[in-house]
Each structure stands twice: as structure tokens, then as C-alpha cells.
Amino acid sequence: MGTKRYFIHTFGCQMNVNDTNRMGEALAGLSYSPTPVVENADLIILNTCSIREKAEDKMLSALGRYRQVKLQRGALIGVGGCVAQQEKQKILDKVPYVDFVFGPDAIGKLPEILTRIEQDRVRVVETAWVDSESYVFPQADPVSSRGKTTEFVTVMKGCDNVCAFCVVPHTRGREVSRPVAEVLKEVARLTTVGVREVTLVGQNVNSYQGGSSFAQLLLRTAQVPGIERVRFTTSHPHDLSDELVDAFRVEPKLMPHFHLPVQSGSNEVLVRMKRDYTVAQYLERLGELRAVRPDIAVTTDIIVGYPGETAADFEQTFALCEQVRYDGQFSFVYSPRPKTIAMLKEQEWGPVPHEVKVARLERLNRLQKTISTEVMSVHVGRTVEVLVEGRSRTNAERRFGRTPHNRVVNFDGDAPVGALVEIAVDFASSSALGGKQVQVRSLPNVVIEEAPVVPEVCVA
Ligand code: SAH
Ligand code: SF4
Ligand code: F3S
């Protein structure tokens, strides 16, 4: 019996990227190895996202493509992630060539699921939630991070907020925090394979409750020997504490980038979104952050065309973006999601016509592109510090990495993955800088081989 191969197509956020790694580890225990070529796979898993309708559509069209591989070589097809958790049996009913459906809490059950399918020739659905008290976070195997210098570390799962538009509380359940000691142990283990930068992830990291405050967790992570940079995502503005702001003042390893989704610049819209902060409160918190780290890069998420959003509401969002001058924004048109308050109330609040939504989004994107280009152009002629991550995605002759502010830099140079280098910047676009390596500041303690080719991650 030769080794079987698996291919995982990952959609969505960092939670899913992390879950994909855990799936890989569960499959390694069954002597499956990864392949970047879907046509060679014996097992295909779609790790899905249901944050917007488009994300689901992308899953369905990918499934259509993978059907061929099933027909040609009898590959098994599984659907995991947030659509799986939401739709459960309905996916099997709708798509006859899917063999199994499993939710984010059932990743550890993958071996059992595959055995059942092979022995009993049945189709399987595993979407039970593990409740908060008994949930144990899977410990990442550092082997799956080999080749990387930057890695995500899960610190919590689920979300207890009730933003009226959002499907996450329905797909990921209640918040559960991972104990501090476990997080620190995982960070320390990652340093043994060469990881120098970690991003602590959760849907709502500010409400972390794993035995310390989130700010304390960040400070302790920064003290783990071998860790040079600490980041985190995502934060809800309503619990951005003074202590977290202060962490930026005292800890230089806490990188000067804050992703602070505002969603809208109109207080009326924010109320309907159930975001429980006002624009003024948001700006006040941001002002405090900028007081301690004046150069901090701020990025955001915005929903355009939320039910009831008037032209005047949108102008307020536009004006807010002009005022804040975000480094970047992830903005999308509103998409109604099953079981959410916004979907139930859409008719009452007043749906925004599709063309209006799209026109508003385009205007916002144009504004952001101008601002991003201006923010980036300031660096031409200066030097920036970069942590080398690998070969550039646009030109394999070059390398790429990120600045402390999380700006991508493509450069000419020979520093290995994991080195901290100084780059003289000679080019800027709205999304990346370009330049030449002028000096190596420090090398990693562990030699990192070229990162392997990994299957596509699709941010929906
Ligand atoms: N936990 C994060 C957000 C996670 S979802 C937070 O609270 O900030 C990522 C982004 O998707 C959200 O910030 C929001 O802007 C967008 N989003 C969520 N639901 C959406 C919907 N129904 N339609 C359009 N965009 C949505
Ligand atoms: Fe969704 Fe709001 Fe939770 Fe973010 S904080 S995951 S937008 S419910
Ligand atoms: Fe993430 Fe999408 Fe689920 S954003 S939590 S994978 S719905």
C-alpha cells in the first residue's frame, strides 16, 4: 500500500488556515502526505468559509472542478469549515459526489471519519459542537510550520458578539480561550523550527480569557526566546482596553500594525449593525493608540450598502476613511447571511440596490488606493526593516518579506528566510514596496529551507 495524498483548498480567514494545518497533522498520522496538485490527490478537502455569499459560491465552483478527480481516480471529497458547520447534511443532499461533511470541532475525528467511509461505504456528517468546558485546543505540531518564519497561533475560538450581519457566531459557536501556558508552549515549540514572528489569532482576541488579559498574553509572548515580532488579529473596537494600548508603548516587539474593523462611519448604521460603539468613540480609541505609537499602521474592514444605508450614511464612511487615512481596508458589499438579524430585518430597514452598493464600494476602493499609494510612496528613498519570508510571488528571482507595519516588500538580495534585513526602498505601489537589500541585521538560529509550495488559500 503506497502513501496516499491529500489536497486541501482553504477559503476564508486565519482560523481556517490554522485548521487546515491541523487537518494535515491528523492526516499525517494516517500516512497521508500533502500534494499541491489536485489531480494527484486521493483525498480532497474544501475548508470552507460562509462569511459572504460569494465565499459559498466559490466553494461550489471549486467542488465542480474537483468532481473530475473523483471520476478519474476515485478521490474522496470532504467539506469542512464554516459552510459545513452551517449546512450539515444539506451539503450531502445537494452535492451527490461529496463523501463527508465535518465542522471545525470535528477535525480530530478525521481519521475515524475516513475509516468509517472506507470500511462501511457510508457518507458521513460530523458537525457536533464541543461545548466550552470540554473543548481542548489541538496543539500544533511544529513540523507543519517547517520552512516558515512567521506563523499563526490560535488563542481563542468562536465569538460571543452578535454583530447583526455576521454568520461567525452561528458557525463557530461561543468563545473559548486557550490557556496562557498552552499558547506560550506552542510559541516556544515554533521557535525550534525557525519561527521568529507569531500572529495570535481569534475572531475577537480582545476578549481573551485564558488566564490573563490579552495584553498580558501579548507581552508574555514577546518574551519567548527566539521571538522577534508579535502581531494579532482580529480586534473588536468596543473592547480595545487601555492596557492593550499601553502594551504598544512598552513592548517594541509588538509590531506597529492594528487591524481595527470599523464597518461603517455612520452611527445610525453602527446601531443597526449592533456594533455598540460610536464613530467618536472609535476615533478616540484610535487617537490613544496613535498617541503611544504615532506611526502605527491601521487597517480596517468596511461593509458597504448595509440595509438602510443612505447616501448620507455612506458619505460619512467615506469622510471617516479620508480622516483616518487607513493603510489598507478590506471592504465588501453587504451580503445577507442565513439566521442573522440583518437578513431578517433587511426588508424593514430597506435593502440597498445592488448597483448602488457596487458604485459606493468602487468609490471607496478608489479613495483607499490613492491613500495607500501616498502612504507607501513616503518610503521611497528610505530604508525599512524586513523579515524575509521567501521568494517573491510575482518574481521568483526576488525575495519578499514584511516591514514591522506589515507592508509587503519585494527585493533583490540573498538573505535566507528568517533573516532580518535592511532594504533600501526604490519603488512603491498601493499594495507593496520594492527595493534592494543593503544589510543583514540578524540571521535566524535555525536554517530554514525553501518553503514548500502550498495549495491555494482563497480569501473570500
Ligand atoms: N471578527 C472580526 C470580523 C470577522 S469577519 C471583527 O469583528 O472585526 C471579517 C469581515 O467580513 C468583517 O469585519 C466584515 O466587514 C465582513 N463581513 C462579515 N459579515 C458580512 C456580511 N454579511 N456581508 C458583507 N461583509 C461581511
Ligand atoms: Fe462577527 Fe462581530 Fe464576532 Fe466579528 S465580532 S466575528 S463581525 S459577530
Ligand atoms: Fe473565518 Fe469565514 Fe468561518 S471568515 S470563521 S472561515 S465564516
* Best of 163, 172, 233, 330 for a ligand 2 pocket test (most atoms within 8 Å of beta carbon): 163
Strand ranges of the sheet holding 328-333, from the earlier edge strand across to the other edge: 257-259, 297-304, 328-333
Q: Answer yes or no: is the C-beta of 428 below 6 A from any ligand 3 atom.
A: no
Q: Note the pLDDT tens digit of each residue in 36-91.
A: 899 999 999 999 999 999 888 888 899 999 999 899 999 999 999 999 999 999 99
Helical spans, DSSP H, in 192-326: 214-222, 242-250, 267-273, 279-292, 311-324
Helix H or strand E segment including 377: helix 354-377
pLDDT > 70? residue 460 = no
Contact 55, 11 (CB under 8 A): yes
Q: What is the mean pLDDT of the segment spanning 411-433? A: 96
Q: Is the CB of 273 under 6 A from ligand 2?
A: no
Q: How far apart, in whole angstroms, are the C-alpha atoms of residue 214 and residue 297?
A: 20
Beta bridge partners of 185: none
Percent of the chain with pLDDT over 90: 86
Burial class of residue 231 (count of CB atoms within 10 Å of its CB; 0-12, 13-18, 19+): buried
Q: For ligand 3, atom 2, name the residue with the nearest CA.
A: 49
Cα–Cα distance measured from residue 360 to residue 354, given in angstroms and rounded to the nearest whole number: 10
Cα-to-centroid distance, 35 and ligand 1 (Å): 31
Residues facing residue 100 across a β-bridge:
78, 124
d(CA 193, CA 155): 20
Q: How far is the CA of 12 from the centre of ligand 3 (A)?
A: 5
Give the confidence band of 458 by pLDDT, cuts at 50, 70, 90. Answer: low
Ligand whose nearest atom lies closest to the CA of 331: 1
Tens digit of pLDDT for each residue in 95-106?
Answer: 999 999 999 999
Q: Which residue has the higher pLDDT, 215 or 458?
A: 215
Do 203 and 154 meet the contact criterion of CB atoms below 8 Å apart?
no
Give the C-alpha separation, 27 to 113, whole Å. Answer: 11
Give distance in angstroms: CA of 329 to centre of ligand 1: 12
pLDDT, averaged across the chain: 94
Question: For residue 52, which ligand has an atom nearest its CA?
Answer: 1
Q: Which three cell numbers stand for residue 18?
A: 490554522
Task: Compute the distance from residue 158 Cα to the ligand 3 centre, in Å.
Answer: 10
Alpha carbons 8 and 16: distance in angstroms, whole number: 11
Helical (H) or strand (E) element with 365: helix 354-377
| 340 CB within 6 A, ligand 3 | no
pLDDT in tens, 302-325: 999 999 999 999 999 999 999 999
Which of residues 81 and 146 earns the better pLDDT score? 81
pLDDT per position as a tens digit, 155-179: 999 999 999 999 999 999 999 999 9
Residues enclosing ligand 1, CB less than 6 A? Answer: 51-52, 165-166, 168, 203-204, 234, 236, 261, 263, 301, 303, 332, 334-335, 337
C-beta of 233 in contact with ligand 2 (< 6 A)? no
Q: Report CA(265)–ligand 1 centroid distance (Å).
A: 15
- Decide whether any atom of ligand 3 lies within 6 Å of the 202 Cβ: no
Q: Is the pLDDT of residue 451 over 80?
A: no
Omega cis (within 30) before 221: no
Give the pLDDT confidence score for residue 459 in this predicted structure: 55
The residue contributing the CA closest to ligand 2 atom 5 is: 161
Domains along the chain? 4-126 (3.40.50.12160), 142-377 (3.80.30.20), 383-442 (2.40.50.140)
Rounded to the nearest angstrom, the distance between the alpha carbon of 82 and the centre of ligand 3 is 6
Ligand 3, atom 1: closest residue by C-alpha: 13
Ligand 1 atom with minimal separation from the 166 CA: 19
Buried b (16+ CB within 10 A) or exposed e, 73-97: eebbbbbbbbbbbbbbeebbeebee
* Ligand 2 atom nearest 166 alpha carbon: 1
The strand order across the sheet containing 197-201 reads: 150-154, 197-201, 229-233
Nearest-atom index, ligand 1, CA of 340 = 22
Phi, psi angle pair for 186, to nearest 5°:
-65, -40
Q: Whose CA is nearest to atom 1 of ligand 1?
A: 203
C-alpha of 261 from chain center: 13
pLDDT in tens, 372-412: 999 999 999 999 999 999 999 888 899 999 999 999 999 99
Cell of 140: 500544533
Evaluate the CA torsion angle 31, 37, 38, 41 in order and state its sign.
negative
> What spacing in Å lies between the alpha carbon of 139 and ligand 3's midpoint?
20
94: helix, coil or strand?
A: helix
**Can you give the pLDDT at residue 340?**
97
